[in-house]
Amino acid sequence: MPMRTLPVELYRAAQVRELDRIAIEERGIPGHTLMNQAGAAAFQLLRQRWPKAWRIEVVCGGGNNGGDGYVVARLARQAGLDARIMTLADPESLHGDALSAAQEARAAEVPITAFNVADLTEADLLVDAILGTGLEREVSGAWREAIAAMNAHPTAVLALDIPSGLHADTGAVLGATIQAEVTLTFIGLKQGLFTGQGPACCGEIHFTSLGVPPDIYPALHPASWRYVGDDLPTLLPHRSRSAHKGHFGHVLVIGGDLGMAGAARMSAEAAARCGAGLVSVATRSVHAGLQAAVRPELMFHGIETPDQLAPLLNRATVIAIGPGLGRGDWGRTMLHVALASDKPLVLDADALNLLAAGPSYRDDWILTPHPGEAARLLKMTPAQVEADRFIAVEDLALRFGGVAVLKGAGSLIAGKADGLVALCTTGNPGMASGGMGDVLTGVIAALVAQGLPLFAAAKAGVYLHGRAGDRAAQAGGERGLLATDLLPFLRQLINA
């Protein structure tokens, strides 16, 4: 039975093929057995998830993903369901295990016809067995039309291994992709399922190892891993009864140029709600008084010149710079002075845009770009960043040093000594609203202030921020979700 609790290790397609090879060639598990296991697991899941489905249309491609589909159709037919196969590739062109599976389906009297949109109409359920980890080019022609027709059909789609058209390594869509309600993936979790377009087209992700011996997995170093917050309780410092505010660090937020006071304040408030002992804000003088009135626990300073900023930098444990910083003279001056300090930094928003214009390298900072800011830093387009988010985030950490967070569906964190990229699946589309990035900056800064190493602070901050967004969305819906709605949930989560 496919597992609902997913492993944390994530792999590239080539690595999963290597696991497949080891199982077949070194452990003597026939490929045909793996394919039958894949088909059986998919059929079992299908029966559990859609017990009333009777007319099952399995759409098969020309490779082993298609082979899995032939097995599903055979098992469904043998169980008395009206299972049929529509193929995009001539069954005679199949090879090896897929050819055997097709022959066994034919022997079980499964109707096998060429793909025909009209035949979809009666289906209660569609199974996507078109393309798996063998996707090697843009989907086009009849394959693209089939994917579009399946997506346009009102019934659910069960995707085998990966929604066809989604790139297993990057989460990018090559031309077109299946929109699945459920995806059952085999042997190893593909990292592309969890970032980029993956979350938008996979639906519920189920996993089955196909009975591959667990001791073959250590042969491969995962390409990345899902961070699920399991080490959070150990990361956050214990609060002794005799603790005082000096024990939990001092966050200095620099930002809030004219007209953008709110950004700096949201960042500062998030830092305070995540346990920072003291929080100061260096902002334009015109904002300081008003902001102090609305949140007296934060120490607002009107800062117009470098020598006014210097004493605040000395007192800070960590500097968060960028929320509402702007790209004018004031913002540029503030960034220049902040970079001259030896305190760890969190850079976001316009601090990143200014950095893109004047690159430098440090080991003690965390950069938190969204794809557009990452594109400016890497001198490429946002589409190029999204075409391979893993390469982009690793490139950011390599070029600029420290830790890089590439925000977006399936945020990625790079910069760990062992090179492993962490992937965070918390968060929801309701968080695509102004101020969410400012809050994240404050969350991460608060964790650095409390002594977490940079990579831990970044991964835990992204995780907590997304979880708080999920709880806020559960409480009141994704539409109209505001950045400050996260604050009470952040406090709950940081104390969980």
Q: How far is CA 56 from CA 8, 112, 207, 223, 413, in A?
A: 32, 12, 21, 35, 41
Q: How far is CA 371 from CA 93, 265, 385, 433, in A?
A: 42, 24, 6, 15
By a kind-dependent CB cut-off of 5 to 8 A, residue 63 interacts, out of ligand LP7C6HRI, K ion, none, with: ligand LP7C6HRI
Cβ nearer to ligand LP7C6HRI, comparing 212 with 493: 212
* Contact flag: residue 20 with ligand LP7C6HRI (CB under 6 A): yes
Q: Which residue has the tokens 């042997």?
A: 187
Q: Which of 2, 63, 171, 369 binds ligand LP7C6HRI (CB under 6 A)?
A: 63
- Report the candidate in 173, 190, 154 with the shortest Cα–Cα distance to residue 9: 190
Q: Which residues bind K ion (CB under 5 A)?
A: 128, 159-160, 164
- Report the candidate in 18, 27, 386, 346 with the shortest Cα–Cα distance to residue 172: 386
Query: How crowded is residue 70: how many other Cβ atoms within 10 Å of its Cβ?
Result: 31
By a kind-dependent CB cut-off of 5 to 8 A, residue 128 interacts, out of K ion, ligand LP7C6HRI, none, with: K ion
By a kind-dependent CB cut-off of 5 to 8 A, residue 373 interacts, out of ligand LP7C6HRI, K ion, none, with: none
Can you name the residues that pair with 206 across neighbouring β-strands?
Answer: 184
- Report the candidate in 469, 388, 385, 381 with the shortest Cα–Cα distance to residue 424: 469
Cβ nearer to ligand LP7C6HRI, comparing 161 with 388: 161
Cβ nearer to ligand LP7C6HRI, comparing 93 with 113: 93
3-state secondary structure of 130: coil
* Contact flag: residue 298 with ligand LP7C6HRI (CB under 6 A): no
Cβ nearer to ligand LP7C6HRI, comparing 89 with 421: 89
Cβ nearer to K ion, comparing 66 with 402: 66
* Contact flag: residue 382 with ligand LP7C6HRI (CB under 6 A): no
Q: Please state, in angstroms and rounded to a whole number, the distance separating the CA atoms of residues 25 and 313.
A: 60
Could you tell me which residues come within 8 angstroms of residue 293 by beta carbon, excluding any fewer than 6 positions away?
none
Amino acid at site 367: L
* Contact flag: residue 350 with ligand LP7C6HRI (CB under 6 A): no
* Contact flag: residue 62 with ligand LP7C6HRI (CB under 6 A): yes
Q: Which of 41, 81, 135, 457 binds ligand LP7C6HRI (CB under 6 A)?
A: 135
- Does 135 show up as a binding residue in the annotation? yes
Q: Please state, in angstroms and rounded to a whole number, the distance separating the CA atoms of residues 302 and 444.
A: 24
Output the DSSP codes for 61-106: -SSHHHHHHHHHHHHHHHTT-EEEEEESS-GGG--HHHHHHHHHHH
- Does 331 show up as a binding residue in the annotation? no
* Contact flag: residue 36 with ligand LP7C6HRI (CB under 6 A): no
Q: Please state, in angstroms and rounded to a whole number, the distance separating the CA atoms of residues 133 and 179.
A: 17
- The least CB distance from residue 64 to K ion, in Å, is 11
Output the DSSP codes for 7-65: PSEEE-HHHHHHHHHIIIIIS---HHHHHHHHHHHHHHHHHHH-TT--EEEEEE-SSHH
- Does 263 show up as a binding residue in the annotation? yes
- The least CB distance from residue 46 to ligand LP7C6HRI, in Å, is 15
Cβ nearer to ligand LP7C6HRI, comparing 34 with 456: 34
Strands (E), 201-332: 204-208, 224-226, 250-254, 278-283, 299-302, 318-321
* Contact flag: residue 61 with ligand LP7C6HRI (CB under 6 A): yes
* Subset of residues 154 to 193 that bind ligand LP7C6HRI, contact rule: CB under 6 A: 160-161, 186-187
By a kind-dependent CB cut-off of 5 to 8 A, residue 20 interacts, out of ligand LP7C6HRI, K ion, none, with: ligand LP7C6HRI
- Does 65 show up as a binding residue in the annotation? yes
Cβ nearer to K ion, comparing 159 with 462: 159
- What residue ranges bind ligand LP7C6HRI (CB under 6 A)? 16-17, 20, 34-35, 38, 61-68, 131-139, 143, 160-161, 186-187, 210
Write out the binding residues for AMP. 407-411, 437
Write out the binding residues for K(+). 65, 128, 164
